[in-house]
């Protein structure tokens, strides 16, 4: 681990628990192709209740429930990263790559695009990136962001509207 990695780890708390596959009955079940870690919804973590916020895991699951075109969801909120993914993904990126994208790349993209949007574009609603194997939607939150990986053949505008409804219903407008 380099000095930069240590500084990053100190600045951002990353929850590292086994992935729980959607519709799984076993706590700690691992998605077959999801190499990322996320909070375990069965862990009894009460910090979200104390803060009045919805658990990131519940929001992750709600976004995944939008449909099979949603591959992966990550939420960076108050310095804590939680992720969830659909099992049996093809062309998925590595967990380490995803982690750095959420901790470094997406916050930087949102800052740059948000600053530009604030000048004379009416602000920033979201950023959509088209990688070779998928779309990546990055939606700013007051204290972080929601990042959603979407299948390349999806009806992307419709999926984005559905995700925005989920976020709005969760109090992230």
Concatenated DSSP letters for 35-49? ------TTS---HHH
Say how many Å lie between the first and final Cα of the chain, rounded.
38
Q: For the domain with range 3-169, which CATH number is right: 3.30.70.20, 3.30.450.30, 3.40.50.1820, 3.40.50.300? A: 3.30.450.30
DSSP secondary structure of 79-90: TEEEEEE-SS-S
Q: Report how far residue 41's alpha carbon sits from residue 152's, in angstroms, rounded to the nearest whole number.
A: 29
Question: 109 and 127 in contact (C-beta within 8 Å)?
Answer: yes
pLDDT tier at 47 (50, 70, 90 boundaries)?
very low
Predicted confidence (pLDDT) at residue 91 exceeds the cutoff of 80: no
By CB atoms closer than 10 A (0-12, 13-18, 19+), residue 23 is exposed
Q: Which of 99, 100, 90, 82 is nearest to 20 (CA)?
A: 82
By CB atoms closer than 10 A (0-12, 13-18, 19+), residue 115 is exposed
Quote the pLDDT of residue 51. 36
pLDDT tier at 172 (50, 70, 90 boundaries)?
confident
What does pTM read for this prediction? Answer: 0.69
Q: Provide the residue ranges of all domains of the chain, joining segments of one domain with +.
A: 3-169
Give pLDDT tens digits for 118-167: 999 999 999 999 999 899 999 999 999 999 999 999 999 999 999 999 99
């Amino acid at each position: 681990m380099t000095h930069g990695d240590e500084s990053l780890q100190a600045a951002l708390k990353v929850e590292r628990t086994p992935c729980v596959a959607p519709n799984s009955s076993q706590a700690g079940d691992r998605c077959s192709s999801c190499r990322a870690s996320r909070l375990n919804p069965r862990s009894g973590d009460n910090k979200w209740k104390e803060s009045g916020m919805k658990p990131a895991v519940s929001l992750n699951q709600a976004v995944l429930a939008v449909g099979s075109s949603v591959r992966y969801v990550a939420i960076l909120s108050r310095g804590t990263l939680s992720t969830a993914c659909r099992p049996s993904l093809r062309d998925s990126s590595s967990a380490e790559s995803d982690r750095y994208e959420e901790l470094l790349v997406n916050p930087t993209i949102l800052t740059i695009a948000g600053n530009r949007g604030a000048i004379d574009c009416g602000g920033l609603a979201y950023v959509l990136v088209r990688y070779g194997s998928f779309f990546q939607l990055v939606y700013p939150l007051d204290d972080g962001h929601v990042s959603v990986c979407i299948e390349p053949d999806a009806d992307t505008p419709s999926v984005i509207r559905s995700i925005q409804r989920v976020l709005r219903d969760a109090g992230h407008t």
